[in-house]
Amino acid sequence: MAKKKTGKKVVFKDRKTGLVIFGIFHIIIGAFCALFMLFTIVGAMALRNPGETTGAIMSVGQMILIVSLYLLLAVWFVWMGIGSILARKWARALILITSWLWLIGGLIGLIAILLFMPAISSLLAAGEEMPRETAVIVQAILTAFWAFIFIVIPGAFVLFYGGRHVKATCEQRDPQKRWVDKAPLPVIALSSLLGCAAILMPLSGFYRWTTHFFGVLLSGIPGAAIVLIYAALFAYAAWGTYKLQIKAWWCGFLATIASDVSVVITYSRVSLAEFYQKMGLPQERLEIMQRLDLFHDPRMAFLWGLVIIGFLGFMIYTKRYFKASAR
């Protein structure tokens, strides 16, 4: 039972046990991420032929990128798990935000699997790399696995951490003012997304700084310049939106539109083979990607449009909080 400042009592069910159970589950996921990180290192070393400079599954830079990603995920899930066990408000807020993103991304990924997996299976079967019956079984297993990992698990997190009893439990057990109390949850989500964009964009350095720019592909120094400019804009937008600064919101909104327009113009003109060649991917992967040619598939355009419209719509939705802050 908790009390408001008005003296009215608010009755809620204490969800401390659930917070501990879900926190332990987060820590287990973090342990699996750490295990996958080790598998990636061992697998890349085992499949790499020391006497050859070509034909490797991934370059050293790409391996470092994947290993770093698993490491960050491991730290994140363990950190969130500890925060959930301690019933911290910041842990609930961050878990709820990331779980929603996880779920939405999983739904989009499931649509992509249903749209493109039959074509990929037919391609593998036609090339005699896999019997057609086996390809169908693999497709079914992959779809079920994806649905469990990217829909069932984050869906359970959203339902639990989004509950009012969980919110009240964290507020009662963590009464001091936290940084997540200084801005509405949708604004924190937007700030986190913009911040992730600012952090992830420079990772294109592992792929020769290959990026799009209004109809052309850039790499090397020109590509790095464009990527770092966008990263700086998104970093400022992330910091300013958390502070509820309307000019930072406009910066993020206009930078997002500019980037999306650049994507549409560039990939309507550039071939998939040219894009992956500039990234420096192995020849084996280039051949498979070239046969698929997803960039010019109308279904891929539909998915990209869905993501772009959804994000811009979410940004427009959050603008109401900045108007309220200005008043």
What local confidence, expressed as pLDDT, does residue 264 receive?
A: 86
What local confidence, expressed as pLDDT, does residue 179 receive?
A: 94
What is d(CA 114, CA 147) in angstroms, rounded to the nearest whole number?
11
Task: Please state, in angstroms and as integers, the Cα–Cα distance from residue 87 to each residue in 75, 83, 158, 176, 320, following that order.
Answer: 18, 6, 16, 12, 30
CA torsion sign for 10, 11, 15, 16 is positive
Token code pair at residue 28:
């287990």
CB contact set of 60 (below 8 Å; sequence gap of 6+): none
Quote the DSSP letter at residue 152.
I
pLDDT one digit per residue (tens) for the chain, 327 residues: 444 444 455 678 999 999 999 999 999 999 999 999 998 888 777 766 554 444 455 667 678 888 889 999 999 999 999 999 999 999 999 999 999 999 999 999 999 888 877 666 665 555 555 666 777 787 888 889 999 999 999 999 999 999 999 999 999 999 999 999 999 999 999 999 999 999 999 988 888 899 989 989 999 999 999 999 999 999 999 999 999 999 999 999 999 999 999 988 988 888 767 777 777 766 666 666 666 656 566 777 788 888 999 999 999 999 999 976 555
Spans of all domains in the chain? 14-86, 88-176, 183-327
Question: pTM here?
Answer: 0.84
Query: Is residue 246 a contact partner of residue 315, using CB atoms and an 8 Å limit?
Result: no
What is d(CA 89, CA 298) in angstroms, rounded to the nearest whole number?
43
Reference 27, options 81, 103, 87; nearest CA is 81
What local confidence, expressed as pLDDT, does residue 181 receive?
A: 93
What is d(CA 296, CA 293) in angstroms, rounded to the nearest whole number?
6
At 218 the three-state DSSP class reads strand
